[in-house]
Amino acid sequence: MKERDYSQYKGVWVIGEVREGQIHAVSYELLAWGRGLADALAVDLAIVVLGKDIKDKVDELISRGADKVYVIDHPELEHFRVDPYSNILTALIEEYKPEVLIASATTMGRTLMPVLAVKLDAGLTADCTGLEIDPEERLLIQTRPAVGGNIMATIKTPVLRPQMATVRPKSKRPLPPDPGRKGEIILKEFGPEWLTSRVRRLDFIKEESEGAPIQDAECIVAFGKGLKDGRHVQLMQDLARIFEGSLGASRNATDLGWIPYSHQVGLSGKTVSPRLYFAFGISGAVQHLAGMSSAETIIAVNSDPEANIFNVADYGLVGDLFEVVPLLISRLKEKGKEA
């Protein structure tokens, strides 16, 4: 490995995300992660955002924890594409030399960060659920699940800089906005040679489903083979609507074609960390648990008292989901009326 002097590397950087022209909520989660790390190191926290027409939308990044906001605003940066994003970020990181660089483990973060790790000659840890600073060594302690959630690994990057990690979306709450916070907004310009991309975006086919993509959802109503028939997805949707939640599913349920694969939770699907996860008629196979066991609160309904899902549930009901769900919906609606 190259011997390099990393003594100038200082500060914590996070990479914000813009979707459909708006600063996406994962950016605020990243600031909450970054704030804790920057305070522990007694350094500044910076966020960098790339996008189109975003320079007037970045104030909240300061009120939610950033000391510095680097903005690259250009029509060519409207959508994430590897070439321009990675070229620009590589240049900025080589210029400003942060010691820690964090992004969200979204499809963007999981594509961009590996490319940056190669371009910057730095190590990267994926999909962390915990980040801390070791006070003595001033090193980033990265914790992540592996082997289908069977083990947790603690990882350090002793030599190379920046220390890079992606964190699971929803694994931290954003800080409440503090309108009095002071910070600096720095607009950076990049010429056309920085903006070219080998990959072209031709179109976007929006998925017609209610609720946020499951990786972004605060509440997920998930179902498995116990739902018995695709017709009953409607029942799940009725409940999800009350929580403004999104639908999730086990592999068996997606394999049966009851819902598109993009809703599958687990080892060969999505990894999610919502605040609230309902599991209806899901047995709780390890491969399913791998995708959802870091949810804040887990509710399970299963007719089999021995179902493994109960081992991870905060509240479990042994019963028939077709009895429980309609009653639950009507109770919640009564509450809604009371409120």
Ligand X SMILES: Cc1cc2nc3c(=O)[nH]c(=O)nc-3n(C[C@H](O)[C@H](O)[C@H](O)COP(=O)(O)OP(=O)(O)OC[C@H]3O[C@@H](n4cnc5c(N)ncnc54)[C@H](O)[C@@H]3O)c2cc1C
Interaction residues for ligand X, span 213-242 (CB under 6 A):
224-226
Q: In the bound complex, what is the minimum distance in angstroms from residue 165's beta carbon to ligand X?
A: 23
Q: Residues 83-98, buried b or exposed e (16+ Cβ, 10 A)?
A: ebbbbbbeebbeebbb
Q: In the bound complex, what is the minimum distance in angstroms from residue 284's beta carbon to ligand X?
A: 7
Q: Which is nearer to other proteins, 72 or 239 (CB)?
A: 239
CA-to-CA distance for 30 and 103, rounded, in angstroms?
7
Minimal CA–CA distance to 13: which of 92, 105, 119, 121? 92
Q: Which is nearer to other proteins, 91 or 276 (CB)?
A: 276
CA-to-CA distance for 187 and 237, rounded, in angstroms?
43
Q: Which is nearer to other proteins, 62 or 289 (CB)?
A: 289
CA-to-CA distance for 178 and 166, rounded, in angstroms?
26
Q: In the bound complex, what is the minimum distance in angstroms from residue 41's beta carbon to other proteins?
A: 19
Number of residues in contact with ligand X, rule: CB under 6 A? 28
If binding is defined by CB under 6 A, does position 321 make contact with ligand X?
yes
If binding is defined by CB under 6 A, does position 322 make contact with ligand X?
yes
Helix 233-242 to helix 321-338 angle, to the nearest 10 degrees?
A: 30
Q: Which is nearer to ligand X, 24 or 251 (CB)?
A: 251
Which one of other proteins, ligand X, none interacts with residue 293, CB within 5 to 8 A by kind? other proteins
Interaction residues for ligand X, span 274-313 (CB under 6 A):
281-283, 285, 287-288, 291, 301-304, 307
If binding is defined by CB under 6 A, does position 269 make contact with ligand X?
yes
Q: What residues contact 334, with CB distance under 8 A and at least 6 apart?
A: none
Q: How far is CA 266 from CA 126, 243, 250, in A?
A: 16, 22, 7
Q: Which is nearer to other proteins, 63 or 215 (CB)?
A: 215
Q: How far is CA 194 from CA 18, 88, 89, 102, 248, in A?
A: 19, 7, 10, 22, 39
Q: In the bound complex, what is the minimum distance in angstroms from residue 91's beta carbon to ligand X?
A: 38
If binding is defined by CB under 6 A, does position 251 make contact with ligand X?
yes
If binding is defined by CB under 6 A, does position 209 make contact with ligand X?
no
Q: In the bound complex, what is the minimum distance in angstroms from residue 258's beta carbon to ligand X?
A: 10
What amino acid is encoded at 302 in this protein? N
Q: How far is CA 126 from CA 34, 45, 72, 165, 230, in A?
A: 16, 21, 25, 6, 35
Residues of this chain that interact with ligand X (CB under 6 A) are 224-226, 250-253, 264-269, 281-283, 285, 287-288, 291, 301-304, 307, 320-322
